[in-house]
A and B are shown apart, each in its own frame.
Chain A
Amino acid sequence: AQSVTQLGSHVSVSEGALVLLRCNYSSSVPPYLFWYVQYPNQGLQLLLKYTSAATLVKGINGFEAEFKKSETSFHLTKPSAHMSDAAEYFCAVSDEGGSYGKLTFGQGTILTVHP
Protein backbone atom coordinates (compact mmCIF):
# COMPACT_ATOMS: atom_id res chain seq x y z
CA ALA A 1 0.00 0.00 0.00
CA GLN A 2 1.16 3.50 -0.72
CA SER A 3 1.65 6.24 1.84
CA VAL A 4 2.70 9.89 2.01
CA THR A 5 4.58 11.79 4.70
CA GLN A 6 4.78 15.56 4.72
CA LEU A 7 7.58 16.79 6.93
CA GLY A 8 6.47 19.79 8.93
CA SER A 9 2.83 20.55 9.66
CA HIS A 10 3.61 24.29 9.67
CA VAL A 11 6.14 26.23 7.60
CA SER A 12 6.68 29.95 7.98
CA VAL A 13 8.63 32.11 5.51
CA SER A 14 9.10 35.79 4.80
CA GLU A 15 7.71 37.35 1.67
CA GLY A 16 10.28 36.94 -1.09
CA ALA A 17 11.99 33.95 0.54
CA LEU A 18 12.28 30.45 -0.86
CA VAL A 19 9.38 28.12 -0.17
CA LEU A 20 10.25 24.44 0.39
CA LEU A 21 7.54 21.96 1.38
CA ARG A 22 8.69 18.39 1.85
CA CYS A 23 6.93 15.23 0.75
CA ASN A 24 8.13 11.63 0.90
CA TYR A 25 6.13 8.76 -0.48
CA SER A 26 6.02 5.00 -0.32
CA SER A 27 4.87 2.98 -3.29
CA SER A 28 5.74 -0.44 -4.65
CA VAL A 29 5.27 0.68 -8.24
CA PRO A 30 6.24 3.86 -10.08
CA PRO A 31 3.90 6.41 -8.58
CA TYR A 32 1.72 9.20 -9.82
CA LEU A 33 2.22 12.15 -7.46
CA PHE A 34 0.26 15.34 -6.94
CA TRP A 35 0.43 18.58 -5.02
CA TYR A 36 -2.78 20.36 -4.10
CA VAL A 37 -3.39 23.72 -2.41
CA GLN A 38 -6.32 24.60 -0.18
CA TYR A 39 -7.25 28.19 0.53
CA PRO A 40 -9.58 29.00 3.44
CA ASN A 41 -13.17 27.89 2.89
CA GLN A 42 -12.34 26.34 -0.46
CA GLY A 43 -11.76 22.91 -1.88
CA LEU A 44 -8.44 21.53 -3.03
CA GLN A 45 -6.94 22.93 -6.22
CA LEU A 46 -4.37 21.04 -8.28
CA LEU A 47 -0.93 22.71 -8.30
CA LEU A 48 0.96 20.12 -10.32
CA LYS A 49 1.30 16.44 -11.01
CA TYR A 50 4.05 13.94 -11.80
CA THR A 51 3.20 11.18 -14.24
CA SER A 52 6.71 10.04 -15.25
CA ALA A 53 7.11 12.32 -18.26
CA ALA A 54 9.74 14.54 -16.60
CA THR A 55 11.27 14.58 -13.14
CA LEU A 56 10.99 18.36 -12.75
CA VAL A 57 7.37 19.38 -12.91
CA LYS A 58 6.18 22.96 -13.22
CA GLY A 59 2.81 23.98 -11.87
CA ILE A 60 0.63 27.00 -11.43
CA ASN A 61 1.53 30.15 -9.48
CA GLY A 62 5.28 29.63 -9.93
CA PHE A 63 5.50 26.36 -8.02
CA GLU A 64 7.52 23.37 -9.13
CA ALA A 65 8.40 19.96 -7.74
CA GLU A 66 11.15 17.48 -8.44
CA PHE A 67 10.64 13.73 -8.41
CA LYS A 68 13.63 11.92 -6.90
CA LYS A 69 13.19 8.17 -7.06
CA SER A 70 16.33 7.39 -5.03
CA GLU A 71 15.05 9.54 -2.17
CA THR A 72 11.35 8.69 -2.68
CA SER A 73 10.69 12.41 -2.49
CA PHE A 74 8.56 14.95 -4.32
CA HIS A 75 9.32 18.27 -2.63
CA LEU A 76 7.47 21.43 -3.63
CA THR A 77 9.40 24.68 -4.12
CA LYS A 78 8.84 28.27 -5.13
CA PRO A 79 11.76 30.72 -5.45
CA SER A 80 9.99 33.74 -3.98
CA ALA A 81 7.01 33.59 -1.65
CA HIS A 82 4.04 35.91 -2.02
CA MET A 83 1.51 36.76 0.64
CA SER A 84 -1.11 35.09 -1.54
CA ASP A 85 0.70 31.74 -1.19
CA ALA A 86 -0.47 31.41 2.41
CA ALA A 87 -2.60 28.26 2.41
CA GLU A 88 -2.50 24.57 3.28
CA TYR A 89 -0.67 22.26 0.89
CA PHE A 90 -1.24 18.56 0.40
CA CYS A 91 0.93 15.98 -1.29
CA ALA A 92 -0.85 12.88 -2.63
CA VAL A 93 0.10 9.59 -4.29
CA SER A 94 -2.17 7.63 -6.59
CA ASP A 95 -3.05 4.00 -5.98
CA GLU A 96 -0.72 1.43 -7.39
CA GLY A 97 -0.76 1.64 -11.14
CA GLY A 98 -3.10 4.60 -10.95
CA SER A 99 -5.89 2.69 -12.63
CA TYR A 100 -8.40 3.12 -9.82
CA GLY A 101 -7.82 6.81 -9.37
CA LYS A 102 -7.68 6.62 -5.59
CA LEU A 103 -5.41 9.10 -3.83
CA THR A 104 -3.64 8.80 -0.51
CA PHE A 105 -2.97 12.22 1.01
CA GLY A 106 -0.31 13.46 3.36
CA GLN A 107 -1.24 15.23 6.56
CA GLY A 108 -0.91 18.68 5.03
CA THR A 109 1.47 21.60 5.58
CA ILE A 110 0.18 25.04 6.51
CA LEU A 111 2.29 27.74 4.87
CA THR A 112 2.41 31.14 6.55
CA VAL A 113 4.00 34.08 4.72
CA HIS A 114 5.17 37.06 6.77
CA PRO A 115 5.51 40.57 5.33
Chain B
Amino acid sequence: DADVTQTPRNRITKTGKRIMLECSQTKGHDRMYWYRQDPGLGLRLIYYSFDVKDINKGEISDGYSVSRQAQAKFSLSLESAIPNQTALYFCATSERGSGQPQHFGDGTRLSIL
Protein backbone atom coordinates (compact mmCIF):
# COMPACT_ATOMS: atom_id res chain seq x y z
CA ASP B 1 0.00 0.00 0.00
CA ALA B 2 1.12 3.53 -0.74
CA ASP B 3 2.40 5.63 2.16
CA VAL B 4 0.50 8.71 0.94
CA THR B 5 -2.88 7.96 -0.62
CA GLN B 6 -4.99 10.44 -2.53
CA THR B 7 -8.62 9.93 -3.50
CA PRO B 8 -10.05 10.20 -6.04
CA ARG B 9 -7.31 9.81 -8.65
CA ASN B 10 -9.41 11.46 -11.32
CA ARG B 11 -12.47 13.69 -11.12
CA ILE B 12 -14.50 15.56 -13.70
CA THR B 13 -17.07 18.00 -12.44
CA LYS B 14 -18.96 21.14 -13.36
CA THR B 15 -18.44 24.79 -12.53
CA GLY B 16 -20.00 25.77 -9.21
CA LYS B 17 -19.84 22.33 -7.62
CA ARG B 18 -18.20 21.68 -4.27
CA ILE B 19 -15.31 19.24 -4.47
CA MET B 20 -13.34 17.48 -1.77
CA LEU B 21 -9.99 15.84 -2.36
CA GLU B 22 -8.75 13.55 0.35
CA CYS B 23 -5.30 12.58 1.50
CA SER B 24 -4.29 9.99 4.06
CA GLN B 25 -0.85 8.87 5.15
CA THR B 26 0.66 5.95 7.04
CA LYS B 27 4.10 7.52 7.50
CA GLY B 28 3.31 9.03 10.89
CA HIS B 29 4.44 12.47 9.74
CA ASP B 30 3.17 15.60 11.43
CA ARG B 31 3.47 17.91 8.45
CA MET B 32 1.14 17.75 5.46
CA TYR B 33 0.87 19.90 2.34
CA TRP B 34 -1.39 20.47 -0.64
CA TYR B 35 0.02 21.59 -4.01
CA ARG B 36 -1.34 22.13 -7.46
CA GLN B 37 0.70 21.45 -10.58
CA ASP B 38 0.15 23.29 -13.84
CA PRO B 39 2.25 22.77 -16.98
CA GLY B 40 5.22 25.11 -17.05
CA LEU B 41 4.56 26.43 -13.55
CA GLY B 42 5.89 23.61 -11.40
CA LEU B 43 4.15 22.95 -8.10
CA ARG B 44 2.60 25.73 -6.05
CA LEU B 45 1.68 25.45 -2.40
CA ILE B 46 -2.00 25.84 -1.51
CA TYR B 47 -2.12 25.03 2.23
CA TYR B 48 0.07 23.33 4.79
CA SER B 49 -0.42 21.96 8.27
CA PHE B 50 2.11 21.19 10.98
CA ASP B 51 -0.31 19.29 13.19
CA VAL B 52 -4.03 18.83 13.73
CA LYS B 53 -4.46 22.27 15.29
CA ASP B 54 -2.25 24.14 12.85
CA ILE B 55 -3.37 25.24 9.36
CA ASN B 56 -1.53 27.77 7.21
CA LYS B 57 -2.19 29.41 3.86
CA GLY B 58 0.28 28.87 1.08
CA GLU B 59 1.03 30.80 -2.04
CA ILE B 60 -2.33 30.28 -3.78
CA SER B 61 -5.02 29.60 -1.14
CA ASP B 62 -7.84 31.71 -2.63
CA GLY B 63 -10.79 29.53 -3.61
CA TYR B 64 -9.59 26.60 -1.49
CA SER B 65 -10.07 25.43 2.09
CA VAL B 66 -8.63 22.53 4.06
CA SER B 67 -9.41 20.35 7.03
CA ARG B 68 -6.96 18.34 9.12
CA GLN B 69 -9.23 15.71 10.61
CA ALA B 70 -6.45 13.69 12.21
CA GLN B 71 -2.70 13.42 12.05
CA ALA B 72 -3.08 11.05 9.12
CA LYS B 73 -5.78 12.90 7.15
CA PHE B 74 -5.73 16.23 5.33
CA SER B 75 -8.54 17.20 2.95
CA LEU B 76 -8.68 19.94 0.35
CA SER B 77 -12.00 21.51 -0.66
CA LEU B 78 -13.00 23.69 -3.55
CA GLU B 79 -16.15 25.43 -2.31
CA SER B 80 -17.38 26.50 -5.75
CA ALA B 81 -15.20 25.08 -8.48
CA ILE B 82 -14.20 27.18 -11.48
CA PRO B 83 -12.50 26.08 -14.71
CA ASN B 84 -9.13 27.65 -13.88
CA GLN B 85 -8.88 25.28 -10.93
CA THR B 86 -8.44 22.46 -13.43
CA ALA B 87 -5.05 21.01 -12.50
CA LEU B 88 -3.16 18.10 -11.00
CA TYR B 89 -3.28 18.21 -7.19
CA PHE B 90 -0.72 16.63 -4.91
CA CYS B 91 -0.65 15.91 -1.22
CA ALA B 92 2.71 15.56 0.53
CA THR B 93 4.01 14.82 4.01
CA SER B 94 7.24 15.41 5.86
CA GLU B 95 8.83 14.86 9.22
CA ARG B 96 9.62 17.71 11.57
CA GLY B 97 13.04 19.28 11.41
CA SER B 98 15.12 21.28 9.02
CA GLY B 99 15.85 20.01 5.55
CA GLN B 100 13.37 17.16 5.63
CA PRO B 101 12.24 15.94 2.20
CA GLN B 102 8.59 15.74 1.31
CA HIS B 103 6.86 12.50 0.31
CA PHE B 104 4.17 12.76 -2.35
CA GLY B 105 0.98 10.94 -3.22
CA ASP B 106 0.23 9.98 -6.82
CA GLY B 107 -2.00 12.99 -7.38
CA THR B 108 -5.60 13.79 -8.25
CA ARG B 109 -6.32 14.97 -11.78
CA LEU B 110 -9.23 17.41 -11.52
CA SER B 111 -11.12 18.74 -14.54
CA ILE B 112 -13.76 21.43 -14.12
CA LEU B 113 -16.05 21.98 -17.08
Q: Chain A residues near B42 (CB, 8 Å)?
A: 4, 90, 105-108
Q: Is A9 an interface residue (CB 8 A)?
A: yes
Tell me whether A102 and B48 are in contact (CB under 8 A). Answer: yes
Q: A82: CB under 8 A from chain B?
A: no
Say which residue of B33, B90, B101 sits within 8 Å of A46 (CB atoms). Answer: B101
Q: Interface residues of B toward A: which range?
A: 20 to 34
Q: Does any Cβ of A come within 8 Å of B84's Cβ?
A: no
Q: Within 8 Å of chain A (Cβ to Cβ): is B26?
A: no
Does B83 reach chain A (CB closer than 8 Å)? no
| Chain A binding surface, main DSSP class | loop
A51 adjacent to B43 (CB under 8 Å) = no
Contact mask A42-55 → B, CB, 8 Å, 1/0? 11111001010000
Chain A: residues with Cβ within 8 Å of the partner, total of: 26
Chain B residues closer than 8 Å to A100, beta-carbon distance: 48, 50
- Comparing B13-21, B65-73, B104-112, the segment that makes contact with chain A is B104-112
A72 to B100, CA, bound (A): 21
Q: Are B43 and A101 in contact (CB under 8 A)?
A: no
Interface residue? B4 (CB, 8 A): yes
Q: How far is the CA of A102 from the CA of B48 in the complex (A)?
A: 8
A107 to B44, CA, bound (A): 10
* CB contact under 8 A between A43 and B105, given known A97-B98, A102-B58: yes
Residues A43 and B90 in contact, CB atoms below 8 Å apart: yes
Nearest to B103 among chain A residues (CB) is A46
Q: Are B40 and A101 in contact (CB under 8 A)?
A: no
Q: Are B41 and A98 in contact (CB under 8 A)?
A: no
Q: A20 on the interface (CB 8 Å rule)?
A: no
Contact partner of B99 (CB less than 8 A), chosen from A4, A42, A51, A102, is A51
B102 within 8 A of A: yes
Question: Which residues in B have their C-beta under 8 angstroms from that of A63?
Answer: none
For the complex with contacts A97-B98, A101-B102, 10 further pairs of A-B residues with Cβ separation under 8 Å are: A43-B107, A44-B102, A90-B43, A98-B100, A99-B98, A100-B50, A102-B33, A103-B45, A105-B43, A107-B41
Residues of chain B whose beta carbon lies under 8 Å from any beta carbon of chain A? 4, 31, 33, 40-45, 48, 50, 58, 90, 92, 94, 96, 98-107
